[in-house]
Structure 1
Amino acid sequence: MPQPTRPEELPARADFPVWRAMPTRWADNDQYGHANNVVYYSWFDTAVNGWLMEQVGADVRDLPAIGIVAETSCRYLSPVGFPDPLAVGLRVARLGHSSITYALAVFRDGEPSPCAVGRFVHVYVDPTTRRPVPVPDVVRAAAAAITSGASTG
């Protein structure tokens, strides 16, 4: 999913088939009183890997290939911070041969518009050589189930 450039292009809650509750912590707030930008990347990483572990029924580090983060981005739309109750919406924007691009959005509970939208790219590599390999079948099956009309292959 390309990053939205105008408010009317922002994703809605209905655009995400997977939801992960994401509690905020006191330590997430920075000196300006809102969640620091790096915290969003932690939320994205936690949402993706937590969902993957549930779907494959194993620790993702034990798979024949590991997903390394090759790219992330975040567009901040409105501030959040402790004690805001949040949820991260997740879907697959692109399922490639050796990579998966996830689209994510952070929503404050009860609000229709996202507070932030993001992109998170896993490239699957051999654990020893760190060279790209095909997405493991079990991961591909899980990702295909939440792919939203995006390119696959």
Structure 2
Amino acid sequence: MRDATRADYRHLASVQTRWMDNDVYGHVNNVTYYSYFDTAVNQYLIERGVLDIHNGDVVGLVVDTGCSYFRSIAFPDRLQIGVRVAKLGNSSVRYEVAVFREEDEAICAAGHFVHVYVDRESGRPVPIPDNTREALAALQR
């Protein structure tokens, strides 16, 4: 994934780093990248009208995640988070995500996470709703 480019990702979300994202070493702390990933994916789903974070009957829960870091980022960097779908299952989806500085082609970090879709009330896995599946299929590489 280190050689990935923006063109390898079907969706790009803009994210502004914040002062509080930096750690004592002067760069964005590793845990913050996961927040960027979550923000980019959920922003995509909300914009397409397939995620209602407050009232939806079905929600995606993160069950697996990982990240590799290649170049440091720091406030006040403006970022683009690339999102693509690597695997679309019956009740789960594996996203691949990448972090780029807005003005730089070099990839800063690459990661993944898996959503399992569940019934909000019972917490039990359910098939990905058809409209959500369509939105996710548009991100497949």
Instruction: Give yes or no for TM over 0.5.
Output: yes
> 2:52 matched to which residue of 1?
59
Contact 1:63 1:136 in 2 (8 A): no
- Percent pairwise identity: 49
CA shift in 2, pair 1:114/1:48, >3 Å:
same
1:151 maps to: none
Tell me whether 28-37 or 111-120 shows the greater mean CA deviation: 111-120
Cα pair 2:10 2:140 within 8 Å, conserved: no
Distance in 2 (alpha carbons) for counterparts of 1:120 and 1:60 = 18
Match for 2:97 among 89, 100, 104? 104
Q: Could you state the TM-score of these two structures normalised by the residue count of structure 2?
A: 0.94
Matching of residues 1-153 of structure 1 within 5 Å? 4=1, 7=2, 10-56=3-49, 59-148=52-141
Runs of 4+ in 1 over 3 A off after TM superposition: none
User: Following TM superposition, by how much is the alpha carbon of 1:20 offset from its aligned partner in structure 2, in angstroms?
Assistant: 0.4
Matches of 1:43 and 1:82, distance apart in 2: 14
Unaligned runs of 5+ in 2: none
- Contact preservation (8 Å) 1:13, 1:113: no
**Deviation string, structure 1 residues 124-151 (Cα, Å, up to 9, x no partner):** 0111221111011111010011111xxx
User: After superposition, what is the alpha-carbon deviation per residue over 1:74-97, rounded to whole angstroms, capped at 9, x for unaligned?
Assistant: 101110010111110111111110
Amino acid at match of 2:102: D
Q: Secondary structure in 1 aligned to 2:46?
A: helix
Q: Between Structure 1 and Structure 2, how many residues are aligned?
A: 141
Query: Greater shift after overlay, 10-19 or 24-33?
Result: 10-19
CA apart distance, 1:63: 2.7
The whole-number CA distance in structure 2 between the counterparts of 1:137 and 1:62 is 18
Query: Which residues of structure 1 form unaligned runs of 5+?
Result: 149-153
Q: Give 1 or 2: higher helix fraction.
A: 1
Q: CA RMSD in A?
A: 1.3
